[in-house]
Amino acid sequence: MAAPRLIMKMEVVDLHRGPGDVNVVEFRHPRRPLLPAFDAGSHVDVHLPDGRVRQYSLMGNPADLSKYVIGVKREDGGRGGSAWIHANLNVGDVVAVSTPRNHFKLHDAAKSHLLLAGGIGVTPMISMARALKWDGRAFVLHFFARSRSSAPLLAELEAEIPSCSLKLHFDDDPNTVINMADLLKDQPNGMHLYYCGPPGFMAWTKASAAHWQANTVHFEAFQPDTDPDFVPTAFTMKLRSSGRDLEVPANVSALTVLRAAGVPLLSSCENGVCGSCECGFVSGEPIHRDAVLTPEAKSHRFVPCVSRATGQIVLDL
């Protein structure tokens, strides 16, 4: 079970609109000169006044702990968090922000790193590219966008990342278009792949990298994969600590049942992307529907806000 995260009251000290309808927001603590450390790929929870909690990647320099910086693209068809931030957040406002968590880490064992970003999925890649450049590690970042004028945070990337390590691909410029299958056709020895972007980009990259070694492919998604043919069915959870059986109806999440049973499990996004409610399981056949767990973690970890099981699953709770 995830440990509670410190929630800090942070002040918005800078906010500006950039290309692609993205607001860049800078938070600082009113009293602490240094914030809790984070590494490349980390995200924070931003607690909105109406009780909603949204996750945003930290795109600042991990070496600069005076501030946290996020990029928020307005998504009118989303769950309302980005629209609220665009319409209501101003410099001087105080917002509750969590300490960072990282499900999207750079791997030290890799000999080289291939970063693929689609649109606003570039936010975690900026901190990754900065960290890799700082450490002198080999990497290339491929950035895909509809056009140069709508590419979020492009100016920051071009100012800091050498052209030999930054490859740009714009839908409206045939000279820059690349086939993902060709890009990922071969996996160089020791290379790890990292990708982030909207659902179509994620599906495109996942399919193109299907032949890569599973433990060398890492991603961060805005939402879990959706299967229109999936039909949830009832199952049973057994709590290892007490032996108690809990029935999960077909139309109710496992997290909801655990809460009703008094199990103090943390939660945040309740959409399978943040990992706050992640717990262990010791037996059973889980149906993983999250966008957090690695292939290795799926053998013993479970995300109850979205995942289900066949028959009975024994949770390490």
- Tens digit of pLDDT for each residue in 114-151? 999 999 999 999 999 999 999 999 999 999 999 999 99
Contact 183, 191 (CB under 8 A): no
With pLDDT > 90 as the criterion, what percentage of the chain qualifies?
74
Q: Structure pTM? A: 0.82
Write down the pLDDT at residue 70: 96
Among 9-18, 69-78, 175-184, name the one with the lowest average pLDDT.
Answer: 69-78
> Does residue 1 surpass a pLDDT of 60?
no
The topology under which CATH files domain 7-98 is Elongation Factor Tu (Ef-tu); domain 3 (2.40.30)
* Lowest mean pLDDT across 31-40, 67-76, 220-229, 292-301: 220-229
Nearest to 133 by CA among 115, 152, 153: 115
CA dist 234 → 252, 253, 316 (Å): 9, 10, 20
Region 88-94 average pLDDT? 94
How confident is the model at residue 66, as a pLDDT? 96
64-68, 217-221, 226-230: the lowest-pLDDT one: 226-230
C-alpha–C-alpha distance, residues 249 and 233, integer Å: 7
> Higher confidence at residue 268 or residue 48?
48
Place of tokens 């000169």: 33
Mean pLDDT for all residues in the chain: 91
Lowest mean pLDDT among 129-138, 198-207, 228-237, 265-274: 265-274
Interval 193-210 mean pLDDT: 94
Instruction: Take residue 265 and report the two structure tokens written for it.
Output: 């499990």
What mean pLDDT is predicted for residues 73-99?
87
Residue 150 backbone class (left: φ over 0; alpha: ψ -120 to 50; beta: rest): alpha
Q: Domain boundaries in the chain?
A: 7-98, 112-220, 235-315
pLDDT of residue 78: 62
Class of domain 112-220 (CATH, top level)? alpha beta
Pairing of strands 112-118, 191-197: parallel
Please tell me the predicted confidence (pLDDT) of residue 79.
65
Q: Residue 197 contacts by C-beta under 8 Å, 6 or more apart in sequence?
A: 116, 117, 118, 119, 120, 121, 144, 205
| Same fold across 112-220 and 235-315 | no
Q: How much is the average pLDDT of 89-100?
A: 94
> Which CATH number is associated with domain 235-315?
3.10.20.30
On the CB side of 27, CA atoms within 13 Å amount to 26
User: Is 150 in contact with 80 (CB distance < 8 Å)?
Assistant: no
Q: What backbone torsions phi and psi does residue 309 show, to the nearest 5 degrees?
A: -150, 165
Residue 108 has which token pair?
């030290």
49-53, 166-170, 290-294: which is most confident = 166-170
8 Å CB contact between 95 and 62: no
CB atoms within 10 A of CB 62: 18
